[in-house]
Structure formats: structure tokens, C-alpha cells
């Protein structure tokens, strides 16, 4: 080979190797950045909420922090703003923030709390929603089916694999971690150019949340037709899986680890069952509701934490789809929750009972006795 050609070949090979090395360093660097400083590029919902929480904490840095963890039920049903209006004096003495996330059950509640602690957020009090439907997680029905694994960091995956009864989609996670600009392309574009994306892949629905983490319904107009369509969608999601109801080992183990973690970190914790409509409750098989209520109450007694079961506390007219509260009903429920539950919880007193509701059929629904506050 001529000398000049040989040098040209070496330069070309060197350029390729340097380009490949720079590409890999750039990808790894961006992956590390999304893990520590820009979580919204990997997990937009968590990132939006974390950024809002940081802003609120910076404004009132000396007040005790009360965090709400749960699913979209508590995300749409508990409004810190309504709590502040209901009890202004208490609002001035503590920071209440709703960190609930769509589809979040016991497994992702645990990963969320561990993420927050790792990022320096240490709540004084924690309200943990226990959604009875998500206590039943089998291979055909798990949180990982809707809380996509590409949203997770390495520490999250280590937790999820312990409590999920399916083989995790490792190929997707490795691809998103090794090539974050491709794996998280929809999250990145949703952050900077969401209008370029079709609605079904956009990940910016959380931009509508208020400054305290409360998320209103996505529907601009709510009428009987919208409610009927939403109810039918939830029926298709939940009814086929609830008829085989049981308390699964995965969510049970995750809840127990979460409660043990709160005990070690000296975080006061409360377990909360959010309201359910009469139609949603009809989808459970006979005995399932009693099984779930007994389980949550027993968990409270075992770990010496208060349990508030508000399952029957709102009428059917309060719901969008028999389990997500409408905005006006959420404000009403939040105000009652603040006065009857949150205030005594933060002061270490006996919790009041959220009274039962008379549903639209006129049938009085029983109230379950709460656990004692330690």
C-alpha cells in the first residue's frame, strides 16, 4: 500500500473511532444527566412534579413537608389548593404537595419515594394511597404495563424486578438507557416541541397540573356523554381483571417495604383508600371489597400507622368514571380531608371518620372503621 494511502486510511480509522467514542460518551453523559438532574427527559410526569415540588420547597423551605403518593385517583382527587382554602391557618404551617402519578400503585409508590429521598427530598409526613384494584397484580395485570420501564433508572429497575411477576422488557430498557436520545425521543420532543408529535405519543399531559401537583381531568368539557365514554373505558380496563381478585405478593411486598422505609427514615405515614363509585365497586367479585378493606386495616395495625378508608364517602354524581373525582367534588373532598383527617394526622391525634355518602340509588353505604392513630 502506498505510504500516502496508508496514512489516509489510518486517519479515517482514527476519525471513525473518535466519532464512535464521542457518540458513546455523549449518550452515557446524557443518560446520567436524565438520571440525576433532568428526570423530565426520561420520566416526564415525575420530572414535572419534581420541578414543581422544588419550587414550592424553595418558597417555604422551613415548613414541614406533607407528600401525597398514589395513582390518578388521588392525583385528581386531592387538591392541596382546596385544602389551603379550607384551613388557611394550617396551610401557613405546612407544605402539602400532591406527588401522585397516573397508574402508580404500591411498586411505583416505593420507587418514587426512594427517588425523592435520593434527591434530597425528605417528607415529614406521607399520605400513601392504597388502591384496592392495584393490590391485585398478576402476570396479566401489572403496573409495568402502563408505567413503562423506559421511565425507570437502574435503582428503580432493581426494585421493580423484585415485585413484578413478569419478565421485564430488558431490551427496551437497555436501548433507552444506552441510546437515550432515541429511547426518550418522545419525552424530549414533548418537552421542547410537543406540537410536532401526534397526540397518542405526546408525553406532556402533566403540564396542566397546578403548582401544588393537583391534576385536573384532561377533558375541556365534561358532560354526560364524556362521563359515559370514560366509564366504559374504565370498565374495559378493570372489570376483566377484578373478577379474579386476590391480594398479590408483589404489591403486598412493596407496601411493606415502603412502610419499613418510612419507619427507618422517621416519616409519619398514613394509608388512604380513595372514594370509589357504586358502579366501580360492583365490578369486584363477592367478598373482594371486604378482603381488601381487612388487608389495609391489618397492615395499619401491624405497622402502627393510621388507615383512612374513604371508599364510600362520595356519591356517584361526584365521579367522572366511578373512580376519578370531578373537579368540584375533588375540592369538596379535599376540604373535608384537610379538616377531618390531615389536621389531626399532622398533630398526632385520633383521626375522624369521613362520613359515608348516599349514592344515586338512595342506598346508604356503610362506613368502615379506621385504624387507630399511634
Q: What CATH number is given to the structural domain containing 302?
A: 3.40.50.1110
CA-closest candidate to residue 72, choices 35, 103, 31: 103
CA distances from 345 to 124, 207, 349, 353, 372 (A): 12, 31, 6, 12, 11
Determine, yes or no, domain membership for 175: no
Which domain, by its residues, includes 123?
44-148+211-346
Determine, yes or no, domain membership for 337: yes
Determine, yes or no, domain membership for 300: yes
**Crossing angle (nearest 10°) for helices 154-163 and 249-264:** 130
- CB-based contact 251:106 (threshold 8 Å): yes
Determine, yes or no, domain membership for 341: yes
Determine, yes or no, domain membership for 16: no
Would you write out the chain's pLDDT as a tens digit for each of its 374 residues? 565 555 566 666 666 555 555 545 544 454 555 555 556 667 888 988 999 999 999 988 778 999 999 999 999 999 999 998 877 666 668 999 999 998 899 999 999 999 999 999 999 999 999 999 999 998 888 888 777 777 778 788 888 889 988 877 767 766 667 666 556 666 666 666 565 666 556 666 667 889 999 998 877 778 899 999 999 999 999 998 898 899 999 999 999 999 999 999 999 999 999 999 999 999 999 999 999 999 999 999 999 999 999 999 999 999 999 999 999 999 999 999 999 999 899 887 766 667 666 444 434 333 333 333 33
308 vs 289: CA distance, rounded Å: 15
Q: Give the three cell numbers for residue 129.
A: 394511597
Q: How many domains does the chain have?
A: 1
Determine, yes or no, domain membership for 170: no
Determine, yes or no, domain membership for 204: no
Determine, yes or no, domain membership for 288: yes
Dihedral over alpha carbons 24, 29, 31, 35 (to 10 degrees): 160
Amino acid at each position: 500500500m502506498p505510504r500516502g494511502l496508508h496514512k489516509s486510511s489510518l486517519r479515517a480509522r482514527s476519525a471513525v473511532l473518535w466519532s464512535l467514542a464521542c457518540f458513546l460518551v455523549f449518550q452515557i453523559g446524557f443518560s446520567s444527566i436524565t438520571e440525576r438532574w433532568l428526570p423530565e427527559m426520561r420520566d416526564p410526569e415525575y420530572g414535572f412534579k419534581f420541578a414543581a415540588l422544588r419550587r414550592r420547597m424553595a418558597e417555604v423551605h422551613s415548613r414541614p413537608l406533607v407528600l401525597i403518593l398514589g395513582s390518578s385517583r388521588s392525583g385528581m382527587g386531592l387538591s392541596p389548593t382546596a385544602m389551603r382554602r379550607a384551613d388557611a391557618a394550617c396551610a401557613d404551617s405546612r407544605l402539602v404537595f400532591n406527588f401522585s402519578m397516573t397508574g402508580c400503585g404500591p411498586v411505583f409508590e416505593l420507587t418514587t419515594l426512594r427517588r425523592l429521598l435520593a434527591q434530597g427530598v425528605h417528607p415529614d409526613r406521607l399520605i400513601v394511597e392504597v388502591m384496592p384494584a392495584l393490590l391485585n397484580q398478576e402476570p396479566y395485570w401489572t403496573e409495568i404495563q402502563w408505567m413503562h420501564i423506559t421511565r425507570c433508572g437502574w435503582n428503580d429497575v432493581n426494585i421493580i424486578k423484585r415485585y413484578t411477576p413478569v419478565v421485564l422488557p430488558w431490551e427496551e430498557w437497555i436501548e433507552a438507557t444506552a441510546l437515550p436520545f432515541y429511547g426518550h425521543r418522545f419525552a424530549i420532543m414533548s418537552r421542547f416541541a410537543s406540537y410536532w408529535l401526534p397526540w397518542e405519543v405526546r408525553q406532556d399531559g402533566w403540564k396542566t397540573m397546578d403548582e401544588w401537583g393537583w391534576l385536573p381531568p384532561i377533558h375541556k368539557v365534561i358532560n354526560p356523554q364524556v362521563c359515559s365514554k370514560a366509564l366504559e373505558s374504565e370498565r374495559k380496563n378493570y372489570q376483566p381483571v377484578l373478577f379474579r381478585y386476590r391480594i398479590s405478593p408483589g404489591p403486598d411486598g412493596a407496601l411493606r417495604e415502603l412502610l419499613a422505609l418510612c419507619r427507618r427514615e422517621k416519616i409519619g405515614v398514613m394509608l388512604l383508600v380513595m372514594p370509589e363509585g357504586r358502579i366501580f365497586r360492583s365490578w369486584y367479585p363477592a367478598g373482594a371489597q371486604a378482603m381488601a378493606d381487612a388487608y389495609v386495616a391489618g397492615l395499619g395495625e401491624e405497622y402502627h400507622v393510621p388507615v383512612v378508608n374513604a371508599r364510600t364517602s362520595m356519591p356517584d354524581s361526584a365521579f367522572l368514571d366511578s373512580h376519578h373525582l370531578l373537579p368540584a367534588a375533588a375540592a369538596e373532598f379535599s376540604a373535608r380531608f384537610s379538616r377531618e383527617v390531615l389536621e389531626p394526622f399532622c398533630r398526632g391525634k385520633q383521626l375522624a371518620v369521613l362520613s359515608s355518602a348516599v349514592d344515586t340509588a338512595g342506598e346508604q353505604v356503610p362506613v368502615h372503621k379506621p385504624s387507630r392513630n399511634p
